[in-house]
Structure 1
Amino acid sequence: MLKIEDLNVYYGAIHAVKGISLSIPRGSIVTLIGANGAGKSSTIRAVAGLVRNVKGKIVYTPPEGEPVNLVGKAPEEMVKLGIAMSPEGRRILPHLTVEENLQLGAFIRNDRDGVERDRDHVYELFPRLKERSWQKGGTLSGGEQQMLAVGRALMSQPHLVMLDEPSLGLAPLLVKEVFDIIGEINALGKTVLLVEQNAFAALKIASYAYILEVGSIVLEGRGEDLLKDSRVKEAYLGG
């Protein structure tokens, strides 16, 4: 579904991503793991069209359609192609209600009945959002805001869902709940690209994983294999 070849991302003089190549097969959960500054978020921001100084290829093949090189395309074009992102820090609109935030996620759609069905499905995935549908986004707890950010991403009917640090700042119980939901999203047929610092939780659900350090891939493999790898245990899983 998504193939990245020799990707380089720059912020001025900073070379944040250094010639990485990776593949996200359709129907999989692929995770990018690494410390702050490893280049994880820069990679998915490049896929989402949120970084302009990008070199290399990002080739996306929709379920029905020809391969498209995403480099140089605007963020709204990505959404129309079936790519949605839940950004780091949630970035919900605090002065709008839960319902309004979700409706904004469907801004490219004009099938009102379909939008309502998908909103109801988001409420099934996240019952707490339904209970708080009238509430301003800024008054939600951190965990509820994360659920809203993920739900909003689903409202565009994406084929590829990119999640940037969905467990950041959440209590352990909520972390488990969020990762259970990621598994459910994948079971619906969505492909998931997951950026995470919580290596243990990410590797437990990932079909495949890439470990980044200072903008380069230093290790890759199946999630279950990397969970047992002594180098990963020492560096990311507390020995």
Structure 2
Amino acid sequence: MLTIKDLHVYYGGIHAIKGISIEVPDGAIVTLIGANGAGKSSTLRAIAGLIKQKSGTIIFNGEDISRLSPEKIVERGIVLVPEGRRIFPNLTVMENLMLGAYLRSDDEGIKKDLEWVFNLFPRLKERVWQRGGTLSGGEQQMLALGRALMGSPHLVMMDEPSLGLAPILVKEVFDIIKEINAQGKTILLVEQNAFAALNIAHYAYVLEVGEVVLEGPGGELIRNPQVREAYLGV
């Protein structure tokens, strides 16, 4: 589904991504783990068209999307759930969700996806006319995920979905990610909680200062002594 080859990204004079190559197969959960500054979020932003790469290619479903605008990338079926949720606090839950569908014109499909989102997140249905800014942190993360799903994406990219959440909510978020994947969505996940991410990932890449230093199935990396010492604290 998604193939990144020899991607290089600069922020000013900083070489943030140094020639990484990754694959995200259709139907998989793939995670990127690494310390702050490793280039994980920059990779997602480059795929989404929010920053432009210096060189390298990003191929999605056989098309080079490296030079497309963010709007065109969303049209192709890629959405990003950004770090920090970035919901619209002054809009209602329903208004936030419908903004996720702003490029769509299939009314029946939108209605079906809205029902799916409310099944995934019953609390959002209970608060449908509540302003986004009055929701708890966990509810805002659910709203950000729901808004992304309203775009009917093929690939959902998530940047630190568990950040700042209580442990019980972290488990709930990861259970929901697995459910979204089980219902046919491909997931590319960036997550500081390496243990939780590797537990659900079909495949994982470890990034350090803009380079891939390790890769393999999530279950294999979670047993890797180097990964356990550096990222799992064991």
Q: Please classify the TM superposition score into its range, dividing by the shorter chain length.
A: over 0.9
Q: Secondary structure in 2 aligned to 1:41?
A: helix
Determine if contact 1:54/1:71 at 8 Å carries over to the other structure: no
Rounded Cα–Cα distance in structure 2 between residues aligned with 1:137 and 1:55 = 38
Structure 2 distance, partners of 1:71, 1:53, is: 8
Letter in 2 for 1:109: R
Q: Which residue of 1 aligns with 2:93?
A: 98
Give the Å deviation of 1:52: 2.3
Contact 2:5 2:20 in 1 (8 A): yes
Report the equivalent of 1:232. 227
Letter in 2 for 1:16: A
2:17 counterpart residue number: 17
Instruction: Tell me, yes or no, if structure 1 residue 110 matches structure 2 residue 105.
Output: yes
| In 2: Cα distance, 1:91 partner to 1:9 partner | 24
TM-score, length basis structure 2: 0.99
Give the superposition deviation at 1:54: 3.5
SS in 2 for 1:156: coil
Instruction: From 56, 72, 76, give the equivalent of 2:67.
Output: 72
- Give 1:89 shift: 0.8
Write out aligned runs for 1:44-63 (5 A): 44-61=44-61
Alpha-carbon separation, structure 2, partners of 1:189 and 1:169? 28
Aligned 8 A contact 2:198 2:219 in 1: yes
Question: Matched residue of 2:207: which SS?
Answer: strand
1:168 pairs with 2:163: yes
Structure 1 CA distance for aligned equivalents of residues 95 and 9 of structure 2: 34
Aligned to 2:211: 216
Residues 1:86 and 2:81 are matched in the alignment: yes
Q: How many residues align?
A: 234
- Structure 1 unaligned residues grouped into runs of 5+: 62-66
Q: Counterpart of 1:31 in 2: which secondary structure?
A: strand
Q: How far is 1:227 from its partner?
A: 0.7
C-alpha RMSD of matched pairs (Å): 0.7
State how far apart, in whole Å, the 2-side matches of 1:230 and 1:173 are: 27
Give the aligned partner of residue 64 of structure 1.
none
Q: Give % identity.
A: 67
Q: Which runs of 5+ in 2 are unaligned?
A: none
Equivalent position of 2:27 in the other structure = 27
Find the counterpart in structure 1 of residue 8 from structure 2. 8
> Do structure 1's residue 149 and structure 2's residue 133 form an aligned pair?
no
Q: Alpha-carbon deviation of 1:116?
A: 1.5
Determine the C-alpha separation between the residues in 2 that align with 1:23 and 1:133.
Answer: 37
Question: 1:182 is aligned with what amino acid?
Answer: I
Q: Which amino acid aligns with 1:25?
A: P
**Counterpart secondary structure, 1:152:** helix
| Mapped partners of 1:9, 1:139: distance in 2 | 37
Contact 1:32 1:212 in 2 (8 A): yes
| Stretches (4+) displaced over 6 A | none
Amino acid at match of 2:188: L
Alignment match, 2:177: 182
Deviation at 1:53, TM superposition (A): 4.1
What TM-score does the superposition give when structure 1 sets the normalisation length? 0.96
Q: Secondary structure of the equivalent of 1:228?
A: coil
Q: How many angstroms apart in 2 are the aligned matches of 1:88 and 1:9?
A: 19
